[in-house]
Amino acid sequence: MKAYVFPGQGSQFSGMGKDLYDSNAQAKNIFTKANEIMGFDISQIMFAGTDEDLKRTDVTQPAVFIHSMAVYHSASDIKPAMVAGHSLGEFSALVAAGVLPFEEALRLVKLRADAMKRACDLQASTMAAVIGMEDKIVEDICASITDDIVVAANYNSPGQLVISGTVTGIDKAIEKLTAAGCRRALKLPVGGAFHSPCMEPARQELADAINSISFQEAICPVFQNVPATAVTSASEIKNNLIAQLTAPVRWTQSVENMIAYGATSFIEVGPGKVLQGLVKKINKEIETSSL
């Protein structure tokens, strides 16, 4: 069974999608629609912008989503047995599963990115990668810091967890994690504390938008970040998508559950090969490729 997976923020690169735009009519149509919905020529930033241009949250998130959708729609006759997306990538997965049309999903992605940027501006916050330590120990250390916000945010693969919180909270956690013997704990070059309570203002904005839209039942199981289990119910998908902004991305658990469900190969759809690498770290026997 083929599982299609969609990357999130961090997979962007200058030049992304230019070859597709030049060679595929379906992909070109996606970029044209995207420019209209965004209200500016985001395709030109994707094709020729600097790395700094692409690092802006309000550009990065729509750009990665648009690229994934251009790749997906340029392929013919895809029938996924199951789908999943890493953080932002969940919106791409929902389009692939027939839950949302591309246009509606992009409007939500744009709103999400703008709301997250505003939430980042309200509070000095960041994220850090923690390498070489058991999840439970990382969770316990985060929980021990009671005078600041710091939580486990991304369960990427065994021994690779990302924490998220206020700058001072992350600094305290890094100090404790290093003292406890983790192989590496370093801050990431991100705009704020995604998937943490710091994103509550953005979660409220996104909830209002999501609740005003009609979602369809999924045509295949969606392994969402919050439960890490198969979901097809439109109402459940809505609730999980809203919760995702302040809840952790359970990618390790999602991949393990997809394999248990019958996935024999994982196909990454979008820029980069980050998810293929994570899948291999979770289960080295599984076949991975990109679309």
Specify whether 87 is catalytic: yes
Range of the domain at 182: 124-187
What are the pLDDT digits (tens) for 81-116? 999 999 999 999 999 999 999 999 999 999 999 999
232 and 276 fall within a common domain: yes
In degrees to the nearest 10, what's the CA dihedral of 215, 83, 39, 18? -160
Whether 130 is in a domain gets the answer yes
**High-pLDDT (> 90) share of the chain, %:** 92
Whether 192 is in a domain gets the answer no
Q: Which of 67, 73, 86, 195 is catalytic?
A: 195
pTM: 0.95
Specify whether 67 is catalytic: no
pLDDT score at 57: 81
Q: Which of 43, 68, 87, 125 is catalytic?
A: 87
pLDDT score at 106: 98
CATH, residue 215:
3.40.366.10
What are the pLDDT digits (tens) for 228-267? 999 999 999 999 999 999 999 999 999 999 999 999 999 9
What are the pLDDT digits (tens) for 35-53? 999 999 999 999 999 988 8
pLDDT band (50, 70, 90) for residue 170: very high
pLDDT score at 236: 98
107 and 205 fall within a common domain: yes
Element (H, E) at 19: helix 18-23
Of the residues 152, 187, 222, which one is the last residue of a structural domain?
187
pLDDT score at 10: 85
What are the pLDDT digits (tens) for 16-32? 999 999 999 999 999 99
Quickly list DSSP for 182-216.
-SEEEE-S-SS-TTSGGGHHHHHHHHHHHHTSPPP
Sign of CA dihedral 232, 236, 238, 241: negative
